[in-house]
């Protein structure tokens, strides 16, 4: 089986909102007292930086969950695991 993709892509159009999000999230991290490598921002990078010895997460869906759970953590909200058994008690 084969999959073919022909992507007429505008890199700068895709990169510009990343610059905005990173500027705002880095500023947020700074005000929240987060220091060093911000792995939760892996979502925006091709080669995410991690702590030494850790492999990076590249899967965009894992990266998004990591990012949103970090925001929930920062605001003292419960993390979302998508377990869902509680709805069937």
| Cβ 67 to other proteins shortest distance, Å | 8
- The distance of Cα 74 from the centroid of its chain, to the nearest Å, equals 14
Decide if 50 contacts 61 (C-beta within 8 A).
no
Q: Which residues contact 21 (CB under 8 A, 6 or more apart)?
A: 44
| Cβ 2 to other proteins shortest distance, Å | 6
| Cβ 5 to other proteins shortest distance, Å | 4
CA–CA gap between residue 31 and residue 27 (Å, rounded): 6
| Cβ 85 to other proteins shortest distance, Å | 12
CA–CA gap between residue 63 and residue 23 (Å, rounded): 18
């Amino acid at each position: 089986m084969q999959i073919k993709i022909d992507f007429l892509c505008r890199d700068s159009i895709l990169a510009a909102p990343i610059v905005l999000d990173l500027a705002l999230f880095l500023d947020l991290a700074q005000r929240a007292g987060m220091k060093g490598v911000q792995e939760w921002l892996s979502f925006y990078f091709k080669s995410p930086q991690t702590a030494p010895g850790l492999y990076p997460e590249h899967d965009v869906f894992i990266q998004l969950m990591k990012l949103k759970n970090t925001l929930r953590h920062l605001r003292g909200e419960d993390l979302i695991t998508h377990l869902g058994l509680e709805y069937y008690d």
